[in-house]
Amino acid sequence: MTRVLRLAAAQMGPTSRTEPRAVTLDRMIRLLEAAAADGAQLVVFPELAFTTFFPRWLLDDAELLASFETAMPNPGVQPLFDRARALGVGFYVGYAELTPAGQRFNSSITVGPDGAILGKYRKVHLPGSVEPRPGDRFQQLEKRYFEYGDLGFPAFRGPQAWQSPILGMLVCNDRRWPEAWRAYGLQGVELMLMGYNSAAYDPNGGNTEDAALRTFHSTLVAQANAYMNATWAVSVAKAGDEDGSALIGGSCIVDPNGVLVAQAKTLEDEVLVADCDLDACRQGKEKMFNFAAHRRPEHYRRLVDQVGAVLPA
């Protein structure tokens, strides 16, 4: 049996803080068209795809507000939605969400081939700090600009045209947290969609990791968590140098064995396409990772009963 969904990762090169929204949207539409021309049915864009990675800056209220979407879609993103529907292609995209009640989240949606929003996710694992680090040129202010996601990890079904896959979404740092993957694994996820902006190194010198090691980390967590949950995964970067702050690339598509099917070679706008047989998840879900047969939650209490580490005496 095969249930094949043709999938694209639409990696984006850097988006400067001063790049007009129309330019960014045009880049995204060109990536969408390239993926559709290669037969892709679902295109995955990065986290915060419509803007620069603005949490690196301490912004005034006007610039901060301009980075957020107050509805989805809205006039500033409508051309992408229109082009996608015309092509009959769906997409995942990450964006900064401002709710009518004034809450701000680092969110993503998955849009079906008919333009309907199929699922929504709000990032749970926010890195960074609330207060700016004194003296640092580049900040990581996600804990300041966003609330923690309040939707949990809600899996959802894709349309029949996609072979009715069970889909899950994560945003950036979430992909390093096995709890998040397992919450979806326990809903039978068959395809995990993820966008990210990950610094290539610590621009302030507080960390010894370089771009090669960080790209390895990013790829490793996609591979291993896909394997341990017997799911396809696609993990998509905004890459390259954004106003002096470097982001890793390494966007990838991973099969349910954790094997890399495709990986980006550049730090620019780049499309990867792969045929994903969703039934390739079945062997893992029925044997090695047959959760009903093998999990022992009575020994996992520590995962929910404590937040931080508690060391032995």
What residue ranges bind a copy of itself (CB under 8 A)?
124-127, 148-149, 152-157, 166, 173, 176-183, 185-188, 207-209, 213, 216-217, 220-221, 223-225, 227-228, 257-259, 283, 285, 287-297, 299-313
To which H or E segment does residue 125 belong? none
**172 catalytic, yes or no?**
yes
Helix (H, G, I), strand (E, B), or coil: what is residue 169? strand
Q: Which residue has the tokens 């919450």?
A: 183
312 preceded by cis ω (within 30°)? no
- Cα 18 to chain centroid, rounded: 23
69, 97, 142, 172: the active-site residue: 172
CA distance 47 to 110: 12
Report in angstroms how near the CB of residue 297 gets to a copy of itself at its nearest.
Answer: 5
Report in angstroms how near the CB of residue 75 gets to a copy of itself at its nearest.
Answer: 32
123, 252, 270, 276: the active-site residue: 123
**120 catalytic, yes or no?**
no
Report in angstroms how near the CB of residue 147 gets to a copy of itself at its nearest.
Answer: 11
Q: Which is nearer to a copy of itself, 60 or 305 (CB)?
A: 305
**281 catalytic, yes or no?**
no
Give the CA-trace dihedral at 128, 76, 116, 119, to 10 degrees: 10
Report in angstroms how near the CB of residue 60 gets to a copy of itself at its nearest.
Answer: 27
Which segments within 124-269 are labelled E, that is strand? Answer: 156-157, 166-171, 191-196, 232-237, 240-242, 245-247, 252-254, 260-263
Q: Which is nearer to a copy of itself, 20 or 308 (CB)?
A: 308
Q: Annotated active-site positions, please?
A: 47, 123, 172
